Each structure stands twice: as C-alpha cells, then as structure tokens.
Amino acid sequence: MHRKSKFSFKIKFSEVLLIIYVLLSAVFLAFKSGAFVINFKQIGFSVVSSMDKGVHFVFDGIKNTFSAVGELRKLRKDYNDLVIKLENYEEMQRTNADIRKENARLKEQLDFAVSMEEKNIPAQIIARDLDNAFTYLTIDKGSVNGIKKNMPVIAFQNGNRGLVGKVVQVGTFTSQIMPIYNINNIVSARIQNSRDLGLVNGLGSQDQPLQMQYIRKSVAESLNFGDIVVTSGENDNYMRDITIGTISKITTVDYNSSLNIELIPIIDFARLENVIVVNQKELNDRKSDSK
C-alpha cells in the first residue's frame, strides 16, 4: 500500500512538470515570435483608448455645459436688448401717433381760422384755475398779439365750432378767459329750431351742465332733447349762431313761468387745448391772402 501511493505521486508530479514545460515552451515561442508583444500592445492601446475616450467625454461634457451656459447668457442678453428695442419702437410709434394727431388738430384749427370772416388769433391754453366756481383759462397770447378785453373766444373741436368764453384780462404776453361754465358768464342765446330767446350761464365746473333760463313754458312741447342752442348775437358780445350746447334736460316748475333747461356744452373743456380769439371789428385779411 505504501509503495503504490508513492508511485502514483511520482506520476502526477511528472505530469505537472510536463505541463509546466509545455507552457514555458509556449511562452518562449510566443515571445520569440512577437505574439505576446502584439497582444500587450493591443491590450494597452485598448485600455489607454478607453481612458482617453472617457476623459474626452467628461471634458467635452464640461465644455458643452459651459458653452450652453454662455449661449444662454447671450440669448438672455439678446432677449433683453430686443425687449428694450421693442419698447423704444412702441414708444416711438405712440409719439409719432401723438404728433400726427397734434398736426391734424392744429391744421384743423388753422383751416378754420383762415376760413373765418373776422380777424382772429389762434392761441393755446397754458393754465387752468379749477379751484373754485370762478374758474378761468389762461392762454399764451396777449396785447402784443392784438388781444383785447371782452373779445369772444371760440374753438373748433371734432368738426364742431363752439363757444368757449370771452377775454376778461389781458397781459403783455398772456390773457385770461372766462369760460362759459363760469357762474358769472351769462350769454344771450337762442334755441336753434324754435328761435326762442333765453340766457345761458354755467354752474362753476366744466364737469357740470350749463343752465338756460327764461324760456316760456308754452314752448315746452316744441323742444326736444338734443336741440342745439346757439349765441343770439345781441349786444355784440358774441358772434351770431355760435353753438353753445345741446338740450339734455327740461324741467317744469309750478311756481315759475319759464322752463329750467340744462345743456351739454358742445366743447369738451377737459380736452380743450387750442382756442381762437376773435376780433369782431376787423376782417380776416389772412383769408384773402390764402386764396
């Protein structure tokens, strides 16, 4: 038994030596033929290439991230610049529209002034006294421009010729107008259709209606809302048939023999900017010059 196991051990050891010898021979032959060198090169190339590709991917990702951030900032700046340009463009458009409206309004006033028979002086409102019932308007023309006290003042607004008031104070370069809504401004007027004569005065505010008095009750049925009231032209205070306003309310009072009539002014005083001061005693020489 002892000898047999020893013999089997020797056989196994010989086999191991044989395997080792074969492997060493194969390795030697491989080195000699260069096969291992090539494999090592391929393995090293693959490893290095993979690492290089990974590093390149990481750096490329970082580069793309920074590029994207830079592009985002540039896009944001471009967007803000475009917003500012758009706002400037819209403001310019609004300004141009305002200029066109102003030019059209001034042309309308000039054409109207030239067409008038009477000599007149176009003016612009530069101040308003709205603190009390005795309200006044200040214009940018005075005695040096030919303005005189008690001259009537009219305006051309939205295609309508309407009464504004009269000059009550004249300075060298400015003048003061008492508008028709001033409680002290009393105007002789007629209802255009019926030709009934009465007096019109204001209630102290441009936001309140005008009041017409001394129209007989007997003519109430012949009056209608919207009827036009014009200047009568009596006493030479104002020219004849200048529109004052339209009837908005008619009230009958038992103890009074006349009607209480309210008028809406034909002129929107809140939007009034330009007026025309009229010299009734002189003819308009500009009308003949323009022909």
Ordered per-residue pLDDT tens for the chain, 291 residues: 444 444 444 456 666 666 776 666 666 655 555 554 445 455 455 545 555 555 556 556 666 676 777 777 777 877 787 778 777 777 776 666 666 666 666 666 666 666 677 788 999 999 988 766 668 999 999 999 999 999 999 998 888 899 999 999 999 999 999 999 999 999 999 999 999 999 999 998 888 999 999 999 989 989 999 999 999 988 777 889 999 999 999 998 888 888 999 999 999 999 999 999 999 888 776 554 544
What's the DSSP call for residue 209?
Answer: P
Distance CA 152, CA 173 (A): 18
Which stretches of the chain are DSSP H helices?
Answer: 2-33, 35-115, 285-290
Buried/exposed 168-178: b ≥16 CB within 10 Å, e otherwise: bebeeebbbbb
Q: Is 96 left (phi over 0), alpha (psi -120 to 50) or beta?
A: alpha
